[in-house]
């Protein structure tokens, strides 16, 4: 009769069970990858927190102010602020424009006419006039280029917001300093032929 040994066979057991050093290798590699991803995301969030400007800073860079919230500001303070801002601004005539723009997609021609005005700070009037005299022809060229490159949806926008922003950005770049704070269209019309 064969004899049975109750002692475990060490030769066969070592082949079935992995060594303790290889056992957690897969888990450790996954953990290292997860920690690396978390560290990268944390660094990106920290950089974004430090370098992305706030809403007030963005508005200041754009040369506008944020709308006041009624819960925080009293109505009297809002009225005083806007009155002071209006008194500190001067309106300047930027010229009349008659622009013809060909639309190749629809095979039509647009005749666009408008009078352009802007606002500057009253104390900047002398410096603006000097810069304006030196660069008014470049300004006209940029306005004509912007209007001609605008599509029909930009021209039919009730406030002409995108066109105003483009003109404001190009004008302040041409003048060398952000003199203009706002752009206004007067007598705007366009006819499609």
Q: What ranges do the domains of the chain cover?
A: 17-51, 55-84, 88-192
pLDDT of residue 99: 92
Among 169, 187, 186, CA closest to 178: 169
Average pLDDT for residues 145-162, to the nearest whole number? Answer: 88
Average pLDDT for residues 80-107, to the nearest whole number? Answer: 80
**Exposed / middle / buried, residue 163 (Cβ in 10 Å: 0-12, 13-18, 19+):** buried
Average pLDDT for residues 134-149, to the nearest whole number? Answer: 92
pLDDT of residue 76: 43
Residue 178 has pLDDT above 70, yes or no: yes
pLDDT of residue 133: 92
- Percent residues over pLDDT 70 in the chain: 72
Structure tokens at 160: 């002409």
The pTM for the full model equals: 0.55
Those residues with Cβ within 8 angstroms of residue 66's Cβ, 6 or more apart along the chain or in another chain: 55, 56, 59
The pLDDT mean for the chain works out to: 79
Residue 7 has pLDDT above 70, yes or no: no
Which region among 44-48, 98-102, 121-125, 144-148 has the lowest average model confidence (pLDDT)?
44-48
The CA dihedral of 138, 143, 145, 149, to the nearest 10 degrees, is: 160
Instruction: Place 130 in a pLDDT band, splitting at 50, 70 and 90.
Output: very high
- Polymer length of the chain: 193
Which region among 85-89, 177-181, 184-188 has the lowest average model confidence (pLDDT)?
85-89
pLDDT digits (tens, 9 = 90+) for 23-81: 677 778 888 888 999 999 888 888 877 777 777 776 666 666 655 544 444 444 444 44
Q: 88-192 has which CATH code? A: 3.30.479.30
Distance between CA atoms of residues 150 and 103, nearest Å: 10
Distance between CA atoms of residues 163 and 155, nearest Å: 8
């Amino acid at each position: 009769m064969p004899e049975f040994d109750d002692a475990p066979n060490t030769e066969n057991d070592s082949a079935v069970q992995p060594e303790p050093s290889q056992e957690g290798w897969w888990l450790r590699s996954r953990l290292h990858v997860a920690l690396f991803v978390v560290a990268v995301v944390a660094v990106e969030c920290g950089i974004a927190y430090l370098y992305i400007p706030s809403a007030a800073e963005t508005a200041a860079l754009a040369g506008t102010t944020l709308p006041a919230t009624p819960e925080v500001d009293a109505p009297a303070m809002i009225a005083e602020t806007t009155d002071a801002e209006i008194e500190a601004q001067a309106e300047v005539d930027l010229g009349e424009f008659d622009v013809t723009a060909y639309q190749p997609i629809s095979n039509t021609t647009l005749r666009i006419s408008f009078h352009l005005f802007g606002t500057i700070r009253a104390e900047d009037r002398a410096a603006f006039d000097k810069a304006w005299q030196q660069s008014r022809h470049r300004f006209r060229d940029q306005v004509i280029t912007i209007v001609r490159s605008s599509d029909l949806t930009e021209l039919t926008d009730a406030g002409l917001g995108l066109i105003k922003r483009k003109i404001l950005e190009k004008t302040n770049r041409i003048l060398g300093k952000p003199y203009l704070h706002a752009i206004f269209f007067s007598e705007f019309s366009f006819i499609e032929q």
